[in-house]
Amino acid sequence: MTQLNVRDAAPGERGGYKVDVNRGERIGRVSSEWFSRPADERYLSLSDLHAAVRGRAERSRTRTAESAVIRVDATRDDAERLALILPGEEVPLMPTHWSFGQLTTMVGAPSTYLRQLPAPLAAINLQYGLTSHRAELIKTLEVEDGRVELRAVTGPDYGRIYDHELVAAVRRIAGNGTGDTRWKVPGVLDWSTGVYNPRVDITKNTTTLYASDRDVFLFLVDDLNPLEAGKLPDGSPDLYFRGFYCWNSEVGAKTLGIASFYLRAVCQNRNLWGVEDFEEITIRHSKYAASRFAHEAAPAPVRQLVSHAFCQRHQDRAGAHCRKDRGRANRILAQAWVRQV
């Protein structure tokens, strides 16, 4: 049986701790996000990120319309301007690149080909597709930001969970994500010494809090409180710490999901090293998903899946005293959350 000991870091200590990244596995999901995010999609705190996505949601509205009565507007005077006019509205909706692709896919038109056509020709094809669309109803997500943009086009039963709702749920356990609670943006591994330093300044280059016009992605760790899971061959402690990342897209680009795990280090490129007990669940944006998230899961998803999954008291209650059973305890808790949502 393996005894887990939590090693609290000294409050004023600037140094890190030695880790063995050859144990466990490497996970590259966070690194992929880190490589692909431009500067304007990187945030230095959860409060800044939440304010951005919440403000966007407050300027948005959704509605359902009959596809056959939606009018596609384009003129010869502007070969690149294409807009949609919904019933009872005079202000045109300007589709984003993403929503245009959703709309063309929904009506069975090739988006790549239509983007190459002059707007009047593309409008004729798109209008025909909307008129003959068998599903009849579509749901729109619109935002006013100087002009009215069409951010998403989905089916009428799409259960939208807004990005700010997920961020708010994370803030309930992680605060600002900057070290004001146990959960924070991760530190960096020094490859030359094998020492992981949990105290690193949060900058645009080191942050792991991301949001774009299509999604949010958050990665936080509890690396100031490493766990001693055993001993290394030289007798030194085998240390790792808790971590989780979660994601969502309110425009239908991806599901809502969360992954929890133990890890030994995060490198400068944001690869996760020495990962063990990796568990991941996803939730489709199906009908009623939004209301269930708001009333049942929002106060608890991250707390239950992360805090409870890593809480020794809950693991003891499930009979998970050893490393082999910790993954089983995480799966039990993850499945319970899925049943809630």
Q: DSSP labels for 201-248?
A: ---TTT--EEE-SS-EEEEEE-TTS-EEEEE-TTS-EEEEEEEEEEEE
Look up residue 33 and give its two tokens. Answer: 């996000």
Pairwise CA distance, residues 181 & 203, whole Å = 19
- CB-based burial, 66-97: b 16+ in 10 Å, e otherwise: ebeebebebeeeeeeebbbebeeeeebbbbbe
Pairwise CA distance, residues 245 & 208, whole Å = 9
For residues 259 and 302, the answer to whether their CB atoms sit within 8 Å is no
Using DSSP bridges, classify how beta strands 188-190 and 265-266 pair: parallel, antiparallel or unpaired: unpaired
Q: Which residues contact 122 (CB under 8 A, 6 or more apart)?
A: 74, 82, 114, 115
Q: What is the CA radius of gyration of the chain?
A: 23
In this structure, the chain runs to a length of 341
For residues 132 and 161, the answer to whether their CB atoms sit within 8 Å is no
User: What pLDDT is attached to residue 27?
Assistant: 97
Q: Which residues contact 149 (CB under 8 A, 6 or more apart)?
A: 93, 94, 95, 96, 99, 142, 143
Around Cβ 301, how many Cβ atoms within 10 Å? 25
Q: Which residues contact 110 (CB under 8 A, 6 or more apart)?
A: 104
User: What pLDDT is attached to residue 151?
Assistant: 94
User: What pLDDT is attached to residue 6?
Assistant: 45
Residue bearing tokens 């209650």 = 317
For residues 274 and 319, the answer to whether their CB atoms sit within 8 Å is no
Helix, strand or coil for residue 50? helix
User: What pLDDT is attached to residue 290?
Assistant: 66
Per-residue pLDDT of the chain (341 residues), as tens digits, is 334 444 544 333 457 999 999 999 999 999 999 999 999 999 999 999 999 999 999 999 999 988 888 999 988 777 778 999 998 888 889 999 999 999 999 888 899 999 999 999 999 999 998 888 777 888 999 998 778 999 999 988 898 999 999 999 999 989 999 999 999 999 999 999 999 999 999 999 999 999 999 999 999 999 999 999 888 888 889 999 999 999 999 999 999 988 999 999 999 999 999 999 998 888 888 876 766 665 554 544 455 444 444 444 334 434 444 444 445 544 444 444 433 33
Look up residue 207 and give its two tokens. Answer: 């942050």
What CA–CA distances, in Å, run from 229 to 44, 190, 239, 337?
Answer: 32, 21, 6, 27
